Structure 1
Amino acid sequence: MSETTTPAETLGSPPAGSRRKLHGNLGVASIVFMVVAAAAPLGVIGGVVPLGIAGGNGAGFPATFVVATIVLLLFSVGFTAMTPHVDEAGAFFSYVRKALGFPVGIGVALVAVVSYVAIEAGVYGLLGPAGASIVELFGGPTLPWWLFALAAFAVTTYLGYRNIALSSRVLAVLLTAEIAIVAILDFVIVVRGGDHGLSTGVVDPHAILSGSVGIGLLFAIISYVGFEATAIFRDEARTPERTIPRATYLSLILIGAFYAVTSWAMISGWGDEEAVSRATDSGSAFLGDTAQRYLGTIGADVITVLYFTSLFACILSFHNVVSRYLFALSQRDVLPASLSRPHGRHGSPHLASLWISGVVAVSVILAVVLQLDPAAQFYTWFAGATTVGIVVLLIATSVAVLAYFWTDARGHSQWRIRVAPSLGLIGLAGALVLILANLKDLVGGSSVLAWVIIGLLVGAFAIGIVIGRRVESRPTSS
């Protein structure tokens, strides 16, 4: 027996055998359903859009979704160019590890884990009250929000333990329903011509540049969190070299079009000035009020129910994503090896899934014990951490793409490996500046909390660097 140092490239790769590797046959549609569900389109329309209209650039807000989509598509050009050269399911950290080294990759991985766990836990703070409102809507008693969070948690834990195909089928049903009802609302508003004719704010430079464009773009970027998770399903995808790029582009285009069209329709439904006034005054009730006006009581009730299921779909999607992050880290011996052993029958990362459920359960219990407001505090604080973390991950991946192709274009055009990634990086860097400048407002006006969030993410990255270096230098027997 002799001692040898493990090569860095070998460290970054999963085991050659299949015992610690996930398997599946997911096509483009299945991955798109999970990614779009993670974006929680109905949740964004009901929660983020009113904030963007009220605090951002008013009637010009739909145009910010167009800008955000373009920036993320530019990012995806380089991201998908590198995909065939990253033969492992680790999403961002696999790309960063490949170009910038194993320790940096592990640092990025821990930032990703913190970001995804935060959003999964935080959304329970929206789901709980949404469930309580449904019971009250149908004449039931006022129940504590955590009862509904507990029920959703149990279902999420069960589905996360099972095969990914089951989760994808559940998400497909829920996502189809929520998109269908919003599409109907959009259609009715457009056919009726809105309150004062259809809004022209989406193409009017004066409207687009009015108010606070920065805040508008900030809320638009937040709405896409989760689209990048296409690559985490690599091992479970059918022909991933083709499936992952197609799913990435299709997810972005669908999300962007849905948000832009629906926010434009909702503004048209009230008229530019009235829409800004109502979004400011009614906030999360803006969607319900619009539905009540154009679809009647039944339509508004249906949207209330589907808002709840949209949030559940979001939680389930992020749970699947972060479970696979843990599985991938375990494959590389950063976490206990037991976490990278798939379930014998379901082929799922069942132990990694249970770990995540445990962390989320502790977070929700603490929120209840500390009597945090589920939406204004619990969700907002956690969403703030996720927003910063995900944009940082996008920036790191953009840098990794540029570095990877720096000396060898590998047959790609300059547009694909230089120009588009650079433009995307500039756009993302601008978004990060906006987010950090407004982070205090995102987390309830607390500068201390804003710095705590930044410190948490920086700490996660630093810990990952240390762990990565230790694993990289660990001697192995041969």
Structure 2
Amino acid sequence: MSVTKDPAVTGTPHARTLKGSLGVTAIVFMVVAAAAPLTVVGGAAPLGILLGNGVGFPSLYAVSAVILLLFAVGLAAMTRHVPKPGAFFTFVGYGLGRPAGLASAFLALLTYTAIQVSVHGYIGYILQVTVTGLGGPDIPWYLYSLAVIAIVGFLGYRHIDLSSRVLGILLVGEVGIVLVLVIAIVFSGGEQGLSAAPFLPENVFSGAPGVGLMFAIAAFIGFEATAIFRDEAKDPTRTIPRATYTAVIGIGVFYTLASWGLVMAWGPDNVLGVAAEDPGAMIIVTTAKYLGVVGEVIINVLLITSMFACVLSFHNVITRYQHSMSNASVLPNVLGRVHPKHLSPHTSSVVQSATAAVLIVVFALLGLDPVLQVFTWFAGVATLAIAILMAITSLAVIVYFARTRQDRRLWNTVIAPALGFLGLIGSAVIIIAYFPIMVGDVDADGVPVFGGVSIALLALVVIFPLIGLVQAAVLRSRRPAVYATITDAISDSSASTVPAAIPPDATGV
């Protein structure tokens, strides 16, 4: 298969191909940074305790890690046999057909755009509060958000190695301060002594575990993006699976340990009350209690850098999704260009920066609250979308290997993906049921109802895949040659190996 080059840059060695030498550590840093460990511990964990199952919330990180590890087994197997960088887009296409693959591609774009713009809103708010609190000028939150978008765009425009170094430094800092805090809590013995209370059945199933699970799964968004960096990996066949397993296990262990430490810091009898007072400040108050003023200042700074690392990582993921879709001729050709010097999808990066900026301006004009609306609403959309995406991918793995027989390992290609599929579908159902709570659609008695906001946001999760299905139908009718290759996500690393895996037209897809 030949690699199609953009006419405007034909002759340039890297006209459409991403290249790099990222190892396991670099890729893990980028996807774990997307998960924003400190932001999760400081923001999602207190909310999970307060709105979810209280003392038992830390156990749900372990449950989520098991579900997602099962998903990762199938993802790793697919990565080995479908050597292409399109991730969800490509894998679903090879397993369930081109229309399903294209529908998944648009759902993935919604997922990562929603989570990125939600954090842009949050970081703008945090910067506004921090600067004002230090006696600085009271600048609107959206101006800070736009400034961050510009910085992220600059880094995303350049070589991926620059982003990986920046993310690595920021990630070490935020993980380090949380581990120091946990160690301090352990050595002090906590408020009521150290115990396994968060893992006792009566606590795990107390309160609203469904809401807790929603917050827990949301905390992992980003780990699955390892496959999108395939063309920039040193040894894709080995690097991507190892990075995927390392990311999900590392994130699961870290979140479980950190949230357990948070419960121990205040004691099982008191932690719910502390979270209720001010969930957003809980991590800062806890740090001040155990690490003093210096620790409090450090964690304030690292909360901001954690969110910056998150948006930078997701920016890199989105630009590469757009790049892969462009090379498969389902997005404008210009998005597939690669910078001759930086070897980055620079045009795609610029477009993504512009998209984020436009959305922030729209939210500002609508007068949306950066935390209660921009962050909460769109983080909820991303959480539901990613659960559906991973469930569909698990199903695609099972179908792909059942048809091709390229890998006969039962655990890797059937059992683990099937268990992951069941866990993810169950999680998606729970998220939908509790979705109104996330966006504030409740009646006078606090009972969740599907009002205008809930329906509008949930509609996005339906509309975006439909766009992909419609485009697939149009391409099949009017541009059959393009339709035949829409899940190829052309790249040099995949040009020489094209598995006969996409169902032929005779199957109807």
TM-score w.r.t. the length of structure 1 is 0.94
Q: Distance in 2 between matches of 1:253 and 1:33?
A: 13
2:137 and 2:338 mapped to 1: Cα distance?
43
Match of 2:117 among 117, 121, 144: 121
- The equivalent position to 1:467 in structure 2, one of 461, 464, 471, is 471
Is 199-208 or 228-237 further displaced after alignment? 199-208
Please give the per-residue CA displacement for 1:150-209, whole angstroms capped at 9, x wherever unaligned: 221110010111111111111011111111111110110011010010132233121112
Which one of 453, 459, 463 corresponds to residue 449 of structure 1?
Answer: 453
Q: After TM superposition, list the pairs within 5 Å mapping 1:261-410 onto structure 2.
A: 261-410=257-406
Is the CA contact (8 Å cut-off) linking 1:28 and 1:243 kept in structure 2? yes
After superposition, where does 1:54-133 map in structure 2 within 5 Å? 54-133=50-129
Instruction: Could you tell me which runs of 5 or more consecutive residues in structure 2 were left unpaired when the two chains were aligned.
Output: 6-12, 442-449, 483-509
Measure, in 1, the Cα distance between the counterparts of 2:31 and 2:357. Answer: 23
Residue 47 of structure 1 corresponds to: 43
Task: Identify unmatched segments of 5+ residues in structure 1.
Answer: 1-9
Q: 1:6 is matched with which residue?
A: none
Of the three residues 142, 146, 154, the one matched with 1:146 is 142
Structure 1 pair 294/251, CA: closer, same or farther in 2 (3 Å)? Answer: same
Structure-2 change in CA distance of 1:14 and 1:108 (3 Å) = farther
Distance across 1 between alignment mates of 2:194 and 2:88? 41
The residue type paired with residue 252 of structure 2 is G
* Structure 2: distance between partners of 1:443 and 1:280: 18
Match runs of 1:158-169 below 5 Å: 158-169=154-165
Say if 1:188 and 1:14 are closer, same or farther in 2 by CA, change over 3 A.
Answer: farther
Paired AA for residue 465 in structure 1: L
**1:372, distance to aligned residue in structure 2 (A):** 1.1
Task: Supply the distance in 2 between the matched residues of 1:447 and 1:403 (Cα, whole angstroms).
Answer: 37
In structure 2, the residue matched to 1:5 is none
- How many Å apart are 1:475 and its aligned residue? 4.7
Percent identity, aligned pairs only, is 45
CA contact (8 A) 1:199 1:267 kept: no
- Tell me by how many angstroms 1:222 deviates: 0.9
**What is the CA deviation profile of residues 4-41 of structure 1, one whole-angstrom value per residue up to 9, with x for unaligned ones?**
xxxxxx8xx97599631211111000100000000011
Q: How many residue pairs were aligned?
A: 466
Q: What is the rounded CA distance, in whole Å, between the counterparts of 1:315 and 1:324 in structure 2? A: 14
In 1, Cα distance between the equivalents of 2:47 and 2:58? Answer: 12
Q: What is the 5 A alignment of 1:182-221?
A: 182-221=178-217
Encode CA deviations 1:253-299: one digit per residue, 9 max, x unaligned.
11111110010001100001211111122111111110111111111
Q: Secondary structure at the match of 2:85?
A: coil
Asked whether the 8 Å contact 2:210–2:434 carries over to 1, the reply is no
Once residues 474 and 143 of structure 2 are traced to their aligned partners in structure 1, the CA distance between those partners, rounded to angstroms, is 43
What aligned pairs does 1:166-185 form with structure 2 within 5 A after superposition?
A: 166-185=162-181
Shift of 1:409: 3.7
Given that residues 132 and 138 in structure 2 are in contact (C-alpha distance below 8 angstroms), is that contact kept between their aligned partners in structure 1? yes
Give, in angstroms, the shift of residue 412 of structure 1. 3.3
Instruction: Determine the C-alpha separation between the residues in 2 that align with 1:274 and 1:432.
Output: 31
Q: 1:135 Cα shift?
A: 1.9
CA distance in 1, matches of 2:117, 2:291: 33
Alpha-carbon contact 2:35-2:220 (below 8 Å) kept = yes
| Contact 1:380–1:444, Cα closer than 8 Å, also in 2 | no
Q: TM-score, normalised by structure 2?
A: 0.89
CA contact (8 A) 1:174 1:313 kept: yes
